[in-house]
C-alpha cells in the first residue's frame, strides 16, 4: 500500500535556510539569557501525564497530547459499550508531550531541590506541543525560549526581565510594546465589583477585550452570572484604559483604598515602572489577563508594533507552581519568547540578514573511477583545512553535473581529467563568469584558500 507523504497539520519541516534564520534569532535570545546569567537546562519531551495535568486549566488539559501505554494497554481493564473516553484515558495513558516549559521546570526544581543553589536562574529553549487548531502563527509543534528565576519574590527580577525583553528585541531590530499588568489588580477588581468568586470567568472575559467590544464581552459575563451592577462597575474601570500611567495608578489606588490585594498589585506595578530607567516601550494595560491559570502577580506580554499576529512573548510571576510537587513557598517569575511568531514577523518586516543558500563553494566533477582517487585526495585536503566541498557522486554526463552546480548555486567547480593527470595540475572554474584556471597541484590548496576567503 502506498502512503501519501504528508505532515500533521500545524507541524513543519525546515530546510537549511529556515534553520539558519531560526538559529539567528535563537542565538540572539540565548546570548542575552547568558548576559543576564541564566543557565541552560533541558528536560525531556515526554513527561508523566500526572506531572502536566491540572496545571493549565481545563482547556489546557484538553490540548495536551497523550501517549498510549505500550504493549497491551487494555490488559486488566474492563471496557464495554458504555465506557467513557475520559475515564478510559487515565487508564490507557500515563505519558504526555510537554505542553510548556514552566511545569517541567517546576518538576525539575522539586526533584532537585537539595542540589539547586537558590535563586535559580535557568533558561530553556525547546519545543512544546499543543493539540490546538492551527492557524497563522499558531502551530502544533513550536519552539519556546524561556527564562525563569525560581526562589525569590524580588521585583528586581521583573525589572531585569523587562530589560531582557527590550535588549533581545533591540538586537533583532523589532519594534515592540511590552504590556504589563498584575493578577492582584484583577483580583482586586473582582472584589471591587462584588464578584470575588468568579475570578476565572473574569480573566477569560478580560482577555477578549483586545478583540471584542465591551458590549460583546458583557453579554458573556451576564451569562456567567455577573450582576448588572458588577458589569456597570466593570465598564467604568475599563473605560479608563486610554489615560496616562499616573492617572491610572491614582485611579486604582482610590478604587483599592480598602482592597488589600488590589493595592498590592498597584504598588508592584508602580515600583516596577519607577525603576525602568530609559525603557519607554512599556504599557500598564489592565486589559491584559494571560490565559494560563498559574500566574499570581505580575503578568507580561509582548506585541509587535507593526504586525498583527498576537503576542510574540509573555510571562509573569507564579507563587505556587512547585506546590503541586510538595515544595511550598517557592515564588518564580519568568518570560517566554515565541520563536515561531518572531520568525514570521521578522520575515514580514524583512529583518533577516542575507543568508547564503549554498553550504559549500566547491564541487569536484566526477570523470569516473580512474580519477576518483585524485578527487578524493584533494577533497580530503580541503576538508582537513576546514573548507567545505563535495564530489559529484556519479560519473554521468558533464552537462548534468554542471546543471547540478547551477541549481545549487555552487560558484566553483573543480576537475581533474586526463590532461590534468598528465600535467600534474587541477582546473578550477568560476561558474558565474566562466573563468577557469589550471593550477599546479602544489598551488591548489593555497589557491582555494584564497578563493574561499573572497567568497565568504
**3-class secondary structure, 422:** helix
59 vs 219, beta carbon nearer a second copy: 59
35 vs 232, beta carbon nearer a second copy: 35
CA 243 from centre of chain: 33
Map grid coordinates 484583577 to a residue.
186
121 vs 184, beta carbon nearer a second copy: 121
In the structure grid, which three cell numbers stand for residue 153, read together?
A: 519574590
| Shortest Å, Cβ 328 to a second copy | 10
95 vs 429, beta carbon nearer a second copy: 95
| Shortest Å, Cβ 298 to a second copy | 14
70 vs 213, beta carbon nearer a second copy: 70
In the structure grid, which three cell numbers stand for residue 358, read together?
A: 549554498
User: Which of 231, 235, 7 has its CA nearest to residue 139?
Assistant: 7
Is residue 50 within 8 Å of residue 169, measured between CB atoms? no
12 vs 432, beta carbon nearer a second copy: 12
| Shortest Å, Cβ 176 to a second copy | 18
The 8-class DSSP code of residue 137 comes to: T
**Gap between the Cα atoms of 246 and 239, Å rounded:** 16
In the structure grid, which three cell numbers stand for residue 371, read together?
A: 580519477
User: Which of 273, 274, 297, 295 has its CA nearest to residue 284?
Assistant: 273
Quote the Cα angle for 282-167-456, to 5°. Answer: 140
| Shortest Å, Cβ 117 to a second copy | 4
- Could you give phi then psi for residue 87, rounded to 5 degrees? -65, -40
Is residue 218 within 8 Å of residue 206, measured between CB atoms? no
121 vs 341, beta carbon nearer a second copy: 121
| Shortest Å, Cβ 201 to a second copy | 24
349 vs 391, beta carbon nearer a second copy: 391
How many other CB atoms sit within 10 Å of the CB of residue 83?
12
111 vs 229, beta carbon nearer a second copy: 111
| Shortest Å, Cβ 275 to a second copy | 7
| Shortest Å, Cβ 183 to a second copy | 20
| Shortest Å, Cβ 370 to a second copy | 12
User: Which of 340, 335, 319 has its CA nearest to residue 123?
Assistant: 335
Q: Which residues pair with 439 in a beta bridge?
A: 426
Is residue 182 within 8 Å of residue 298, measured between CB atoms? yes
241 vs 383, beta carbon nearer a second copy: 383
Would residue 137 be called left, alpha or beta, if left means φ above 0 and alpha means ψ between -120 and 50 degrees? left
- Residues of 395-423 as b/e, b for ≥16 C-beta within 10 angstroms? eeeeeebbebbeeeebbbbbbbbeebeee
Quote the Cα angle for 397-398-401, to 5°. Answer: 95
User: Which of 187, 108, 144, 150 has its CA nearest to residue 333?
Assistant: 150
User: Which of 339, 327, 337 has its CA nearest to residue 150?
Assistant: 327
| Shortest Å, Cβ 41 to a second copy | 6
| Shortest Å, Cβ 165 to a second copy | 13
Amino acid at each position: 500500500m502506498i502512503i501519501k507523504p504528508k505532515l500533521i497539520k500545524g507541524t513543519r519541516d525546515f530546510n537549511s535556510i529556515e534553520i539558519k534564520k531560526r538559529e539567528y534569532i535563537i542565538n540572539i535570545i540565548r546570548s542575552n539569557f547568558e548576559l543576564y546569567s541564566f543557565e541552560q537546562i533541558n528536560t525531556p519531551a515526554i513527561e508523566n501525564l500526572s506531572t502536566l495535568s491540572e496545571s493549565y486549566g481545563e482547556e489546557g488539559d484538553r490540548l495536551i497530547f497523550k501517549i498510549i501505554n505500550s504493549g497491551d494497554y487494555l490488559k486488566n481493564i474492563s471496557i464495554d459499550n458504555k465506557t467513557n473516553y475520559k475515564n478510559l484515558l487515565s487508564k490507557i495513558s500515563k505519558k504526555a508531550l510537554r505542553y510548556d516549559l514552566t511545569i517541567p521546570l517546576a518538576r525539575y526544581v522539586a526533584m532537585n531541590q537539595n542540589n539547586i543553589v537558590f535563586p535559580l536562574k535557568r533558561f530553556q529553549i525547546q519545543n512544546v506541543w499543543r493539540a490546538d487548531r492551527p492557524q497563522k502563527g499558531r502551530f502544533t509543534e513550536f519552539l519556546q525560549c524561556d527564562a525563569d528565576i525560581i526562589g525569590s519574590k524580588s521585583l528586581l527580577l521583573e525589572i531585569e526581565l523587562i530589560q531582557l525583553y527590550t535588549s533581545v528585541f533591540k538586537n533583532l531590530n523589532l519594534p515592540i510594546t511590552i504590556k504589563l499588568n498584575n493578577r492582584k489588580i484583577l483580583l482586586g477588581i473582582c472584589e471591587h465589583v462584588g464578584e470575588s468568586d468568579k475570578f476565572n470567568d473574569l480573566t477569560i472575559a478580560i482577555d477578549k477585550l483586545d478583540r471584542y467590544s465591551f458590549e460583546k464581552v458583557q453579554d458573556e459575563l451576564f451569562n456567567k452570572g455577573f450582576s448588572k451592577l458588577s458589569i456597570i462597575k466593570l465598564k467604568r474601570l475599563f473605560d479608563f484604559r486610554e489615560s496616562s500611567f499616573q492617572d491610572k495608578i491614582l485611579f486604582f489606588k482610590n478604587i483599592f483604598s480598602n482592597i488589600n490585594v488590589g493595592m498590592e498589585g498597584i504598588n508592584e506595578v508602580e515600583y516596577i515602572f519607577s525603576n525602568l530607567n530609559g525603557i519607554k516601550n512599556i504599557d500598564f494595560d489592565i486589559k491584559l489577563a494571560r490565559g494560563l491559570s498559574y500566574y499570581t502577580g505580575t503578568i507580561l506580554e509582548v506585541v509587535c508594533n507593526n504586525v498583527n499576529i498576537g503576542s510574540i512573548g509573555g510571562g509573569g510571576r507564579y507563587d505556587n507552581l512547585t506546590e503541586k510537587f510538595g515544595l511550598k513557598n517557592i515564588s518564580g517569575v519568568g518570560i517566554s519568547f515565541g520563536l515561531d511568531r518572531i520568525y514570521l514577523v521578522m520575515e514580514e518586516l524583512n529583518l533577516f540578514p542575507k543568508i547564503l543558500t549554498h553550504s559549500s563553494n566547491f564541487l569536484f566533477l566526477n570523470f569516473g573511477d580512474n580519477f576518483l582517487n585524485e578527487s578524493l585526495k584533494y577533497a580530503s585536503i580541503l576538508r582537513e583545512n576546514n573548507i567545505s566541498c563535495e564530489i559529484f557522486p556519479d560519473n554521468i554526463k558533464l552537462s548534468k553535473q554542471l546543471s547540478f552546480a547551477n541549481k545549487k548555486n555552487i560558484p566553483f567547480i573543480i576537475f581533474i581529467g586526463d590532461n590534468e593527470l598528465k600535467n600534474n595540475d587541477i582546473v578550477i572554474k568560476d561558474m558565474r563568469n566562466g573563468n577557469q584556471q589550471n593550477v599546479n597541484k602544489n598551488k591548489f590548496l593555497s589557491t582555494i584558500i584564497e578563493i574561499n576567503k573572497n567568497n565568504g
